[in-house]
Amino acid sequence: MDSLTAESGEKCIEVLEKGFRGLILMDIMMPEMDGWETIQKIIDKDLMKDNIICMLTGKDDPGEKMNPLKEYVLDYIRKPIDNENFIDIIKGYLKYLQ
């Protein structure tokens, strides 16, 4: 399975508009447009089909912003996370997509 990176929410939207489908790992704290704003834009542009979103963050609580968008987030992973556990989580998500 291929992987792509996007340095910002806007770049993520561009990648999705070009046809990427799969697992989106997104930090809540990003430059210019945060993770919640990015998710809202993904929804507004109807780019959720065949995609799942997992949020990564160093915060203890996803916050109030998550409430209206939580149905679009499969999981919420707190950092730091050890590599082995992270790989197992990602493999599980990829099975979910198949």
User: Above 70 in pLDDT, residue 12?
Assistant: yes
- List domains and CATH numbers for the chain: 9-97 (3.40.50.2300)
For residues 56 and 13, the model is more confident at 13
Q: What pTM did the predictor assign?
A: 0.83
Please state, in angstroms and as integers, the Cα–Cα distance from residue 46 to each residue in 41, 57, 87, following that order: 8, 25, 29
The whole-angstrom separation of Cα 77 and Cα 86 is: 9
Q: Which of 73, 61, 74 is nearest to 36 (CA)?
A: 73
pLDDT per residue as tens digits for the range 18-76: 999 999 999 888 888 989 899 999 999 999 999 999 988 876 665 655 667 888 888 88
